[in-house]
Chains A and B, each alone.
Chain A
Amino acid sequence: NAGVTQTPKFQVLKTGQSMTLQCAQDMNHNSMYWYRQDPGMGLRLIYYSASEGTTDKGEVPNGYNVSRLNKREFSLRLESAAPSQTSVYFCASSVAGRPYEQYFGPGTRLTVT
């Protein structure tokens, strides 16, 4: 039981490049989330997926797109990376009806130069 896994662990991009961050969970959770964590800002919700087939914006969705590929997988895409998107990105998941009980992955450290 690996929990929540994220790939890649580290990535360096140049401004304007695109990339997709991958997340998968093996806990049969319905809901999945993407956060970014910046110094002095705390964790901020980018997008979430309450259940397979649905996605909704969080607090900071601009510059990102998401895809809920199936119940297990939820990806985050940066279409044209900007230095302001340099951050640590975390994926999380939760059981249906218990969004306050989220389980986080190990994170992806992204640097945009």
Chain B
Amino acid sequence: QKEVEQDPGPLSVPEGAIVSLNCTYSNSAFQYFMWYRQYSRKGPELLMYTYSSGNKEDGRFTAQVDKSSKYISLFIRDSQPSDSATYLCATGQGTYKYIFGTGTRLKVLA
């Protein structure tokens, strides 16, 4: 079992839809949870991070962590074609080593 599992997609949604992207992880010691956006042939860009359980909101993006089920989610409201990218989740204990998911490819159709 991989330490972090992420559905590769692609996930196609119409413009304006609410998008839900998800990851599961196996190590209950993980405390930090990050979401990165990666456009084709570019480097990952940090969207947001959360510590422990709960929600965090930044504009149209909301990150949610449920430590009891080892499940992390990223919601995108009012999705735009410019949101089309691969979304990577990552998690770790707060040291220098983090485990990344393989990414979910999102396509927002105009």
Contacts and interface: CB of A to CB of B under 8 A. Distances in A.
A42 B103 contact: yes
A42 B97 contact: no
Contact of A42 (B34, B42, B43, B102): B102
Nearest to A49: B96
B96 A101 contact: no
Contacts of A99: 92, 94-96, 98
A27 interface: no
Nearest to A56: B96
Contacts of A106: 42-43
A64 interface: no
Interface residues of B, number: 26
Contact of A43 (B45, B88, B92): B88
B44 interface: yes
Interface residues of A, number: 24
B102 A41 contact: yes
Contacts of B43: 4, 90, 104-107
Contact of B44 (A43, A48, A59, A101): A43
Contact of A100 (B4, B6, B98, B100): B98
Nearest to B99: A42
Given A31-B96, A58-B97, A107-B42, A42 B4 contact: yes
Contacts of A105: 43
Contact of B96 (A4, A33, A40, A42): A33
